[in-house]
Amino acid sequence: MNEHLDYDLVLRVQQGDKRAFDLLVLKYQHRVVQLVYRYVKDASEAQDVAQEAFIKAYRALPDFRGESAFYTWLYRIAINTAKNYLLARTRRNGDAEIDVYDAEQIENAPQLQGMDTPEQQLLNDEILRVINAAIADLPEDMRMAIMLREIEGMSYEDIAQIMNCPVGTVRSRLFRAREAIDSKLNPLLE
C-alpha cells in the first residue's frame, strides 16, 4: 500500500504536479539524510548531498517506470550521489583513489575514518542530543509512532496494529513528529 501511494505521487509528478514531489521529499528526507550521513560523516554535507540526490531524482522521474519501489530507486540515487561526492572530495584532497562502486569499501575505507574534527564531533553530538530531546518532548502517541518507525523500522501497517489505530493516523502522527523534530533541528543545521 505504501509503495502504491509512492507510485501515485510519482505519476502526479510526471503529470506536472510539483507539490507531489514535495510530499515524497517530506516522506523520505530523514531516511535519505541518514543514509548519506553514513557515507559523508558530516551533518551539513549530508544535507547538501541529500538535497542533490533529490534534485537528481526529480530530474530522472520522467524515466521512472515503477519497476522497483520508489524508495529503492531513490536509495540507489542517494548512494551514488554520496559515492560521487566522496570521490570528488578524495580527488580534491589528493588522497589515494577509492573504488566508488563498492559501498562496503567506502564505508570502511581507512582514509575516510577519523575525518571528524573535534568541532565536527561536537556538532554531531549536539545534533544527536537535540534529536533525542525533541523525541522526548513529543506527545506519547507521536513518540511511540516515530520510535517504532525510525528506530525499530516497522511498517505503517505494523505500527497501526500495535497502536490500535488506522494507518492514516500513523502517517499523520509520523508527519507531525518529524515536523516537530525538524523545527528543533533546523536552527542547528543552518
**Of 44, 67, 66, 47, nearest to 55 (Cα)?**
47
> Is the Cβ–Cβ distance between 98 and 111 less than 8 Å?
yes
Mean pLDDT confidence for 160-185: 88
89: pLDDT strictly greater than 70: yes
Average pLDDT of every residue of the chain: 80
Quickly tell me which residue has 508527519 as its cell: 175
Name the pTM for this structure: 0.50
Cell numbers of 147, please?
Answer: 520510535
Quickly tell me which residue has 523545527 as its cell: 183
Mean pLDDT confidence for 49-62: 92
166-176 burial string, b = 16+ CB within 10 Å, else e? ebebbbebbeb
Mean pLDDT confidence for 86-108: 56
- pLDDT class of 40 with cuts at 50, 70, 90: confident
Backbone phi, psi, residue 35, to 5°? -60, -50
Phi-psi region of 153 (alpha: psi -120 to 50; beta: other; left: phi over 0): left
105: pLDDT strictly greater than 50: no
Could you give the CA distance from residue 76 to residue 79 in angstroms, rounded to a whole number? 5
188: pLDDT strictly greater than 70: yes
Angle at 108 between CA 102 and CA 111, to 5 degrees: 105
CA torsion angle 49 185 122 78 (round to 10): -20
- Quickly list DSSP for 105-165: HHHH-GGGTT---HHHHHHHHHHHHHHHHHHHHS-HHHHHHHIIIIIT---HHHHHHHHTS
Please tell me the predicted confidence (pLDDT) of residue 112. Answer: 43
Return the higher-pLDDT residue of 62 and 187: 62
Return the higher-pLDDT residue of 32 and 99: 32
Mean pLDDT confidence for 143-170: 83
- pLDDT class of 173 with cuts at 50, 70, 90: very high
Q: Which domains does the chain have, with CATH numbers?
A: 1-112 (1.10.1740.10), 116-190 (1.10.10.10)
- pLDDT class of 10 with cuts at 50, 70, 90: very high
